[in-house]
Structure 1
Amino acid sequence: MAEEYRDSIAAVGVGALADEIIAGRRLTREDDLETLITCDLNELKAGADRIREKFSGKKVNLCTILSGIEGRCSENCKFCAQSGHNHTGCEHHGMLSEDEIVAAARANQEEGVDRFSIVNSGKTPTVADFEKLVSVFARMHRELEIETCASVGFLSAEQLHRLHEAGVAAVHCNLETSRRYFPSICTTHTYDEKIENIRRAQREGLKVCSGGIIGMGETWEDRIEMALELADLHVDSIPINSLMPIKGTPLENQPRLTEDEILRTIAIYRYINPEADIRLAGGRALMADNGRTAFLAGASASITGNMLTTSGSTIRMDKEMLEELGRETHPAYC
């Protein structure tokens, strides 16, 4: 297949490139991807939307997140309000009660969300907190139909197996940025630790949600390199967050991204990861109409919720917007 597509991207154009991707071409590090950065944005978005239509159809996968444990994280990620190394005034609470978590999951199921994720701060759960996680995921699996996801740090193969047995369908572990730029963002754990965590989850048979944050000072080449790394890992869902600088973090004075930068990134990720869900995540407030145009530029999924801090929308508002675009938002369990 690769021998059929030796013409450069600049020569064929991004529209024809979209056709080649639909026909089976996959972009690699051997391709000159500079054209994706410099080409006409409208043409790139149109091609990305056609690729999305082919591989994801009209369905938009919606997920919600709940902070099971918040604040006092041991890791020094420069973007994060919850890092104990930063000075953001973030409140701390230990693990929410099982009843609180199940009630939140049930409310999201009633809203027709596809997936519900528990997000815990910290590098890895304590023994006691892990047992609470197993119990609450098992209860959600017994009582509810909504798919569940764990975003709880680094896990051993045994822990992943126990969560899988408890009904967890997916694990979230962001790469955050490229391998080159990662040490500029975090030094308390490594890029390779993240990759091995993802591979352990895949060996267990779990879906993987992994993406990153743009606007942290990285280059376009860093963004593309992360997209290629995610393609190599064959992740199922790629959340793209746009940095909303937080006072008290080392990135508090970072310039905010333009909407065009965000849309180009989403489109590029669709070209490089045609079969993954490209998920609109944090920073939607940086775009007009809360990111509506992103769903015409390759996005096929979104984080949603009634309590998102930077979104300004509700689940119902997101569903109405997507239905106006002709998209399908009903989860499989409905």
Structure 2
Amino acid sequence: MTNPLDELVTKALDRRPPTREEAARVLGTEFDVLDVVAAAARVRRHFFGNRVKLNTIINMKSGLCPEDCTYCAQRLGADSDILKYSWVPPEEAATAADAAATAGAKRICLVASGRGPGQRDITRISDTIEAIRAKQPEVEICACLGLLSEGQAQQLRGAGVHAYSHNLNTNERRYGDICSTHTFTDRVSTVREATSAGLSPCSGAIFGMGETDEDVISLAFELLELDPDSVPINFLIPMEGTPLEGQWGLTPQRCLRILALYRFFFPDVEVRLAGGREIHLRNVQALALHLANSIFLGDYLTSEGQTGDQDRQLITDAGFVVEGTEETTLPPERHDLVTVRRRGVGTDLAPNV
């Protein structure tokens, strides 16, 4: 009898996503969590070997956001004791980026709170990238500035931005439960705007906000439609002063099952272990590296992470190596998977239905 987890591995290696029923079984209790991790780890190793890509966040502008996302300590009306400041100078950001790249970070994520960038903000990012490139010309630059207006993605690309990060965060059905100042459609539109401009799309989720298994699965399918190159998986950090400060329902096992599921959905995509990993995975972070091929190094936007030494030791102890700048993160393009249609309407052959 065929093992259902083996079937999921076979589908993933062929870049075919799970069905909703298969996904529900991964999140459920039918399979032991270690068996789920072992199966998804086979997929991770096939496409990414034993490499771990390091990324770091530079919070260019902290707090004072007009949006009301309930998970965020920077939100409108939040009573969280976080750092609040306007745009940091390009030289300060470049110094931080230089230190991170020297410590092994391959991608620098420039993040700013707010609904979206104005023209002055685009100029600030451009000046910051120029300063970073003067010290670290090879490092990848990712921008995360909120909702984009028409033409802004092209401007960012012209400034040297490699990728644009804009998470969907939760599925469309329940998006209104976590934010009222913009919509799920707004977020989808921004990811598509970035992709159309030639920026590498980065879009993922935050889990631990009261979502059901069906919500987790629906979001995976919604993300698939955006065809992202990077999928950050965040686990809610319930910051005091936010509406979700009491949400502590995640367990390490739940986090591992979600990571495994998203590896099955995104077999050859950069699945990034992001915010909240230290808090919710705790002593099983090493197991998570067998699922995610990318992590954030250092601190997050409003909370502190492990030290760089701890992260690098974690990677080494788990038998992995830090991915170098000379290596390509994503697998080679698979033109052999592209087949020109020669059947169906317009031909004498029957359609493939």
Same-fold status (TM-score > 0.5)? yes
Going from structure 1 to structure 2, the CA distance change for 1:308 and 1:67 (only over 3 Å counts) comes to closer
d(CA) in 1 for partners of 2:306, 2:284: 8
AA matched with 1:76 = D
Report the counterpart of residue 107 of structure 2 in structure 1: 115
Q: In the TM superposition, what whole-angstrom CA distance separates every residue of 1:145-165 from its partner, at most 9, and x where no partner exists?
A: 211110111123422112112
Contact 1:81 1:249 in 2 (8 A): yes
d(CA) in 2 for partners of 1:309, 1:153: 16
d(CA) in 1 for partners of 2:248, 2:49: 35
Contact 1:290 1:313 in 2 (8 A): no
Give the total of aligned pairs.
323
Going from structure 1 to structure 2, the CA distance change for 1:49 and 1:142 (only over 3 Å counts) comes to same
Alignment counterpart, residue 317 of structure 1, candidates 310, 314, 318: 310
Report the counterpart of residue 272 of structure 2 in structure 1: 279
AA matched with 1:286 = H
AA matched with 1:118 = L
AA matched with 2:67 = E
1:36 aligns with 2:30: no
C-alpha displacement of 1:326: 2.3
d(CA) in 2 for partners of 1:63, 1:197: 22
AA matched with 2:90 = E
TM-score normalized with structure 1 length: 0.90
Contact 1:141 1:166 in 2 (8 A): no
Runs of 4+ with deviation above 4 angstroms:
306-312
1:180 aligns with 2:173: yes
RMSD of aligned Cα (Å): 2.0
Greater displacement, 255-264 / 304-313: 304-313
Report the counterpart of residue 67 of structure 1 in structure 2: 59
d(CA) in 1 for partners of 2:214, 2:156: 36
Map residues 200-219 of structure 1 onto 2, 5 A cutoff. Answer: 200-219=193-212
Going from structure 1 to structure 2, the CA distance change for 1:98 and 1:220 (only over 3 Å counts) comes to same
Report the counterpart of residue 7 of structure 1 in structure 2: none
Contact 1:283 1:311 in 2 (8 A): no
Map residues 1-334 of structure 1 onto 2, 5 A cutoff. Answer: 12-28=3-19, 32-38=22-28, 39-40=30-31, 41-144=33-136, 145-284=138-277, 285-289=279-283, 291-296=285-290, 298-305=291-298, 310=303, 312-333=305-326
Contact 1:141 1:167 in 2 (8 A): no
Radius of gyration: which is bigger? 2
Structure 2: give runs of 5+ residues left out of the alignment. 328-353
Greater displacement, 134-143 / 264-273: 134-143
d(CA) in 2 for partners of 1:213, 1:49: 22
TM-score normalized with structure 2 length: 0.86
- Residue aligned with 1:62, SS: strand
d(CA) in 2 for partners of 1:196, 1:139: 30
Structure 1: give runs of 5+ residues left out of the alignment. 1-9
AA matched with 2:321 = E
C-alpha displacement of 1:323: 2.1
C-alpha displacement of 1:325: 2.1
d(CA) in 2 for partners of 1:312, 1:33: 30
- Residue aligned with 2:268, SS: coil
Going from structure 1 to structure 2, the CA distance change for 1:83 and 1:12 (only over 3 Å counts) comes to same
C-alpha displacement of 1:204: 1.2
- Residue aligned with 2:185, SS: helix
d(CA) in 2 for partners of 1:240, 1:107: 25
d(CA) in 2 for partners of 1:175, 1:24: 22
Report % sequence identity: 34
AA matched with 1:166 = A
Contact 2:91 2:131 in 1 (8 A): no
AA matched with 1:249 = T
d(CA) in 1 for partners of 2:207, 2:93: 30
- Residue aligned with 2:286, SS: helix
Contact 1:28 1:228 in 2 (8 A): no
d(CA) in 1 for partners of 2:15, 2:314: 31
Contact 1:307 1:314 in 2 (8 A): no
d(CA) in 1 for partners of 2:152, 2:130: 14
C-alpha displacement of 1:331: 2.1
